[in-house]
Structure formats: structure tokens, C-alpha cells
Structure 1
């Protein structure tokens, strides 16, 4: 079997994704620029969306689920009065309305979209239907009954009203949220239709767009130590989990996939946590009676 080429390099590179690029294309660019053996991202952005795309390299890919599950912040604009088949500006217009809500009506309509809600994904989404992606079926002209799924919305606020046709919103939500569905459903609730015209992910877990590296910078620094220097440590992806210090013997056992002793802390029996030794992550697992029982082990 041919060996996969590339360096064994681990860490996170926060990219400020430009419009017009797929998330997969960004990952491929980063992997090429760093000559990395393994890379992945923590949460897809639509091609026309911008903002935080956190790219995990090497062993950091094992921490991706903890970023995917973290809260995220989106800023976006909704065009009122027009519905499209994709729920964004890339689609075909399927309905229009002359009705325009007042600011007070908009603020009131946002209330039901907060806390735990049920959300139906857009027809053009990556949700699987009988083994096929919904967007592939939608492109073929099929209409689907997609099942609603739960979404936690921490906050949803109107931040600007540039004109009668446009409202800018900011949403902080959990895993699996579709901003396009929010725009569609808000327009329906107001009786005027709506779709997203631009979208930016401001932050995702510990990663912020203001710290993101541009694609142009990645191209400029490709294959250099200067790009390596922009990597964040793997441990950043574990900030939402409690850290336990492993004993030297415990670290050795954990590295072999066995339960290892950790120093006492305020975590409870059965809590998920991660163990470190000499400042580096050793494993993620479940804490039980003075030991961490590993579910993921880091080979650093």
C-alpha cells in the first residue's frame, strides 16, 4: 500500500474563509501549504459564506468533535419580500411579497427562534435522504419532506435595519444550525418571505474571525516556517473540557490506550475530560476513581 505523503504536523490553523470557496477547497489549500499528511475542518461553511473555518491538522483532527459541538456566532443579512429555492441569493426566486414588517414586528418575530427550537434544513443542504444528499435531489428537481431537527439558539438579535427590504441579525447557536432556515422561517412567520444575502461566521468555539489567516496570506507563506508559526496548539480544541494532570506513570499507560492515574481535581465521576503531561495533551476520556479511561489518545 502506498504511504500517504506529507508531514506529521499537528495543530489548528484558523482561516478567514472568503466567499466563493468551498470548505473542502480551503482544507486542501491549507494541507498543501503546510505539506500536512492529514487535515480536516470543524464545521462546513456554505461556499458564499465567509468567516471562521478552523482547520485541524494531524492529531488535532481528533479534537474536531469538541469544536463542532461548541457554540458559534453568525452575522447575516436577510432580504425580505423574496423567497428562493435555496434560501439564499444563489437560488431561483420562487415567491415575492410587497409586505414589509416594522422593526418592532421583526423583534417580536425573533422571540420564537430562541432557546430550543425545531428546524427543517433547506432543500439544498447536505442532509442525506435515502443515502443521497438533499442538494443532489433538489438539483434534479425533486421536492423532499426533510425532518425537523432540534437546534439550541443561545441568542438571536437584530443588529441593523439598513432599509425596509433588509435586516441584519446576529445568532449564537449550537451544532447543526442552518442560517438559511432561520431566514426562510422568519420570512414565513412575518408573512413576507425571506432569504439570506450574506453570512459571516464571527467565531466558533475558541476560534475568532479576527484572528483568521486569509487565503492570500496562506499562498504567500506556503511551505515556509512563517506559516508553521501561525499554527495554534492541538490543546486549543479542548478548552471546553476540564484538564487533568496525568502522573508520569499514568501518562505512559494512557499513551498505550489504558486507564491512567491523574491528579485529583474537581471533576465528577463519569465526566469527560482530557489529560496532559508536561504541557501536552495525552488523551481524552472519562474520569473514574482517580483515573482517566481514554477514548482518544494523542500521538504527539
Structure 2
């Protein structure tokens, strides 16, 4: 017999405005503790010194994490021009300098080369695994690695401001797996001036916007208090980019048991990933085939009550 999970079977999304100086994992642990939640995860790691949107999933919402992870995300960041660091951000040691500075026009032109389907090499100090070890652990030992290029889709990369010749404020909208630090590094190299990230803030992630985020101070203030549930957003928001179909009452039990069942759908093609909804609540995610969903994930009805 399986061990009963400790805590509440609470489900939903908690959108945190992450401060600098704390890891994403620490934020998740704090939110889980404050909600006394049985299960928690997050969609898209932020570096410890980065700030902004960190979408924390509790309970059944963890089943929708992949759909948020795959969604577009927006970042605003400042690039320091004239120096490269070993971490590609301001936390690292300067390893090279340049007196060259691009004009605004040259900088804007260079940004065009980073839009669309590109490839980038992760920073040496990153969580990429190398022979079973994290790259940052090897980098801290002074080892230099030849990390493989990774595909990245960049929807937008624009110059917002040029406070002075040594800095450039940029905004980027990109897909899964992007390293903003790599963008700053590669941009500086292309311009011949070198560069690294001074600071970074995530503005939105999929359906979640920084305007709707709460702070860790707000979470702390209501920790273990039933009133903390006011910060929960619906599990279903994690499926905002997945096609929704209607689940009739006669299909609910079958889908929740992991069995194919009839749904009502419009403009859905055979083989599409869809999610079945009944009275606003997610029943299952699955593959649409000839009027049925073949479930890949099923959802337990939300409780969000003390146990």
C-alpha cells in the first residue's frame, strides 16, 4: 500500500514575482510549504539573480507544466558591452575586454541575426548535463567544456533603450530552452565588442503575466493560512495553448479512468493534442481520434480543502 502524501491536495498555479538572490527550486519549496501542498513544480527555471515570472504548479497543475514550458516567454534584460565574463552575466569574472562600441544602428542590425530558428551554445555555467554532471559543477572546478548547440526559436528581439555606449536594454520573446546569457554573449561577439547580461527580468510566460504575480513576502504573510488560496489560479490556465473540446457527462468517468471516450469538438484534426473540459474543469488531455480523446493525462477533481 502506497504511503499517503503529507499536506493538502491543493491544485492550481501560483504566479510568483521571483526576487534576485534565490533559486527557482527554493521558491517552489517555499510556496509548497506555505500552501502545505502535497506536490509542487515549476515551468521554466530562472537563474538565481534573475527576477520576474516564475509559474509554480501545485497538485494537478503539475500535469500541465510541459505546456507552459513549451510556450513563448518574454524577457527584458540589460547587456553590458565591452566585457565578457566566464558566466556570461555580471556575477562572473571578467575574462576579456574590448574598447569597441557599436552604434545603435549596428546593434539593431545585429539583432536581426538572432530572430527566427537559431542555434545557441549554453553558458559554461548552466544546468546542462555533461557525462552525468551539471556543467556549472564542472565549470566551478575550472573545466572548460565544448557544449553542444541547441535549437531555439526567437519570435522577437528588439532594442528598447541605449542608456549609454556601454549598455543596451533589450526585449526578447522566445520559445523553450533559451539562454538569455548566451544571446548577450553571442551578440557581443558578433559586434566585436563582447558582452554579458547585467540583469534579467521575465515579463510573461505563456498565459501568465507579471502584472498578476505575487511576491514571496505576500506568500510568507499568509503561510499556512486558509486565506492563502486567494493566490491560486486555475489548473486549466496551464492548458491555454492547447485546443479545448467539450466532454459530455457520459464520458467523464471513462476519461478519468484513462479510457478513450467521445467528446464534442470543432475544427480539430485527427492526431491533435486536446484537452476535455466539463463545466470549466479539466477532465483529461489526450490525442483526438475520430470523435474520441485517447487520454495521456487525467485530472483528479480539484479539492483545495484542508485534510
TM norm structure 1: 0.99
What is the aligned residue count?
300
Residue-by-residue CA offset, 1:182-235 (whole Å, 9 max, x unaligned): 000000000011000000000000001111100111111111232101100100
Residues 1:129 and 2:130 aligned together: yes
Q: Supply the distance in 2 between the matched residues of 1:141 and 1:3 (Cα, whole angstroms).
A: 44
Counterpart secondary structure, 1:126:
coil
What CA distance in whole angstroms lies between the structure 1 residues aligned with 2:175 and 2:42? Answer: 17
1:147 alignment partner in structure 2 = 148
User: Which whole-Å CA distance do the structure 2 matches of 1:129 and 1:7 have between them?
Assistant: 37
Structure-1 residue corresponding to 2:206: 205
Superposition RMSD in Å = 0.8
Q: CA deviation at 1:278?
A: 2.4
- SS, match of residue 54 in structure 1: strand
Gaps of at least 5 residues in structure 1 are none
What whole-Å deviation, never above 9, does each CA across 1:74-116 have from its counterpart, x for those lacking one? 0000000010000000000100011111101100111110000
2:193 match: secondary structure = coil
Worse overlay, 232-241 or 222-231:
222-231
Q: Gaps spanning 5+ residues in structure 2: where?
A: 302-307
Aligned to 1:105: 106
Q: Distance in 1 between matches of 2:232 and 2:145?
A: 42
Q: Does residue 1:52 correspond to 2:61, yes or no?
A: no
Residue in 1 that maps onto 2:243: 242
Matched, 1:297 2:289: no
How far apart, CA to CA, are the structure 1 residues paired with 2:104 and 2:202? 24
Partner of 2:89: 88
Structure 2: how far apart are the matches of 1:116 and 1:287?
A: 29
**Cα deviation digits, residues 9-61 of structure 1 (max 9, x gap):** 00000000000010001001100110001000000000000000000000100
CA distance in 2, matches of 1:279, 1:92: 51
What is residue 220 of structure 1 aligned with on the other side? Answer: 221
Q: Equivalents in 1 of 2:272, 2:81: separation in Å?
A: 45
* CA–CA separation in structure 1 for the residues paired with 2:265 and 2:15: 33
TM-superposed deviation, 1:242: 1.0
- The TM-score with structure 2 as length reference comes to 0.96
Counterpart Cα distance in 2 of 1:92 and 1:17: 25
Residue 67 of structure 1: SS of its match in structure 2? helix
Q: State how far apart, in whole Å, the 1-side matches of 2:247 and 2:178 are.
A: 36
CA distance in 1, matches of 2:161, 2:170: 7
SS in 1 for 2:38: coil
- CA distance, structure 2, for counterparts of residue 283 and residue 9 of structure 1: 18
What SS does the aligned partner of 1:111 have? Answer: helix
Aligned mates of 1:134, 1:170 — CA distance in 2:
27
Structure 1 position 68 matched with structure 2 position 69: yes
Task: Write out the 4+ residue segments of structure 1 that deviate beyond 2 Å after TM superposition.
Answer: 1-4
Counterpart Cα distance in 2 of 1:4 and 1:266:
41
Structure 1 Cα separation of the partners of residues 261 and 142 of structure 2:
55
